[in-house]
Amino acid sequence: MLKLSCRSEIPVFRVLDILRIVNERAAAGEDIIHMEAGQPSTGAPQAVLDEVAEIMRTGNMGYTAATGMPELKNRIAQHYADRYGVKIDPKRIVVTVGGSGGLMMSFLSVFDVGDRVAMAAPAYPAYRNILMALGCEPVEIESTLEENYQPTLARLEALPQKPQGLIIGNPSNPTGTMMNKKQLAELTAWCQAHGVRLIADELYHGVTYGEAADTVLSTSDEAISVNSFSKYFAMTGWRIGWVVCPEDVVDRVKRLSESLFVAPPTLAQHVALKAFDHCDVLDGYVARYKTNLEILKRELPKAGITKLSKAEGAFYMYADISDLTDDSEAFCRGLLDQAGVAVTPGTDFDLTRGHQTIRMSFAGSTEDITEACRRINVWMRGWNHREAKTA
């Protein structure tokens, strides 16, 4: 038998596994409300899509530069100046094949085999899985609801060994929590003092419900910022993102991009460039997410799900259900099979406590979220009764 790579033996990405199963069941005619996957139910603004046909008819769809079209990089740099007041040299920007491609190239460019890279748990599972595939050691730092599910200086100082890297999600997937500017500055200062490379997942910037998220680039020139057109811009399937790198990292990411991807998708880059002109529509999407969030905050406690994350951004609610069950996967299966609501067990995000947590995406329509809450409430009444009888 031919040899297989040990590094490819990574855990299954449960969210995508669940999405596949749910899509198959929905295609077979089942009435299922999607709260499992982190993608907007609406796509890119229609005005952008209307321009696609003309771009395809008249535009050159050949390879662009490996780091992306200059006009798109210039527009991204302008976005940082407009939104954050931060001046970014477009040469530091690399357009990537989605945020996932940006994460992979960032990790490859600054971490070696055996490096220890820390992250708060719960965390986006792809961080852990990509690091493992690259031969790095993920170091998960337990975080709590009281700590807003974000890494703290006290937790970092308590590590027996200082890591070579730290990944933060701001806003976080799966919790929706955020770090304010003061916390971000303290964290970047700690990383710089200890020689720790900071990588900030900023994919959900623009999707916030109070104070706007601040970029790590406002506090550090040594940090790497990863972003995407998937979330705020609602372009998940287009697979287009970007990375802002320190000057000494840009050429490494460029060379990796040339060999791994040749170039990001040309058509997707054109669409992304046009999307910046329609932020009024995209802000309307965010307003809908906020309405959905308020519905969850009001209705879930009525169903007995009370320990909820402070969802300040992104479109996720993370719930501690330890008072209800020790088997979040069985809980989610029951909710799907008996109520037709798909949510994700926390085992995807937290290896030690995920059996007591779930993640719910509220990026769907307000009608779907309202109906999902009704179904959850009805199901929970019956489920609690069954649990009591079993006990």
pLDDT by residue, tens only, the chain of 391 residues: 888 787 788 777 778 888 888 889 888 999 999 999 888 999 999 999 988 888 888 777 899 999 999 999 999 999 999 999 999 999 999 999 999 999 999 999 999 999 999 999 999 999 999 999 999 999 999 999 999 999 999 999 999 999 999 999 999 999 999 999 999 999 999 999 999 999 999 999 999 999 999 999 999 999 999 999 999 999 999 999 999 999 999 999 999 999 999 999 999 999 999 999 999 999 999 999 999 999 999 999 999 999 999 999 999 999 999 999 999 999 999 999 999 999 999 999 999 999 999 999 999 999 999 999 999 999 999 876 445 334 4
Can you give the pLDDT at residue 17? 83
How far, rounded to the nearest angstrom, does the alpha carbon of residue 270 sit from its chain's CA centroid? 23
Query: For position 8, what pLDDT does the model report?
Result: 81
State residue 1's pLDDT score: 82
Q: Is residue 184 part of a domain?
A: yes
Answer yes or no: do 253 and 189 share one domain.
yes
CA angle 57, 229, 9 (to 5 degrees): 110
- Please compute, for residue 198, the number of CA atoms within 13 A of its CA located in the half-sphere on the CB side: 28
Position 339 scores a pLDDT of: 96
- Residues 258, 138, single domain; the answer is yes
Contact 273, 79 (CB under 8 A): no
Domain membership of residue 5 (yes or no) is no
SS3 at position 275:
helix
Using an 8 Å Cβ cutoff, are 93 and 77 in contact?
yes
Q: Which residues constitute the domain of residue 333? A: 10-43+280-383
Task: Count CB neighbours of 56 within 10 A.
Answer: 11
Confirm if 375 and 340 have CB atoms less than 8 A apart.
Answer: yes
Spacing of C-alpha 367 from chain mean position:
24
Encoded amino acid at 244, one letter: V
Interhelix angle 46-58/266-275, rounded to 10 degrees, is: 140
Q: Closest by alpha carbon to 212, among 93, 363, 82? A: 82
Please tell me the distance from the alpha carbon of residue 73 to that of residue 63, in angstroms, as a whole number.
16
| Secondary structure element (H or E) that encloses residue 359, with its range | strand 357-361
Same domain, 127 and 245: yes
2 found inside a domain = no
Residues 128 and 211 in one domain: yes
211, 297: one domain: no
CATH (domain of 68): 3.40.640.10
CA 172/CA 179 separation, integer angstroms: 9
Which of 247, 277, 307 finishes a domain? 277
Number of domains present in the structure of the chain? 2
